[in-house]
Amino acid sequence: MPVVKIGRSRQVTIPKKLFESLALEEGSYMEVERQGNKLILVPKVLLDRDKVKTELFKLVDRIRERNKALRPEEVEAQVAKVIEEVRAQKV
């Protein structure tokens, strides 16, 4: 297990192999959590909520358009199911 030194402004350098294996880039975001005497770093992707919402509505509209033969309730049930599946993945 690599050992790193805490630098100026409490910065920690992530070893190159670990950095590359996680596909991190300069400016990437990490969630930091304390578990006992350990710090857990988890890579995170930040999304623009308004942009994601707009894209979601566009996608839902396309799904509705493609499924005109189905009753609206059936389409809405399918959309709701997919949204729940995505939320369960914590994307």
Tens digit of each residue's pLDDT (9 = 90 or more) over 32-46 = 999 999 999 999 988
Please give the Cα distance from 64 to 78 (Å, whole number): 10
Query: Which residue range(s) make up the domain with 56?
Result: 49-89
Answer yes or no: do 85 and 60 share one domain: yes
Structure confidence at residue 87 as a pLDDT band (50, 70, 90): confident
Give the residue-averaged pLDDT of 60-84.
85
Answer yes or no: do 30 and 55 share one domain: no
Structure confidence at residue 3 as a pLDDT band (50, 70, 90): very high
Closest CA to 74 of 85, 84, 63: 63
Q: How many domains does the chain have?
A: 2
pLDDT surpasses 70 at 90 = no
Answer yes or no: do 66 and 40 share one domain: no
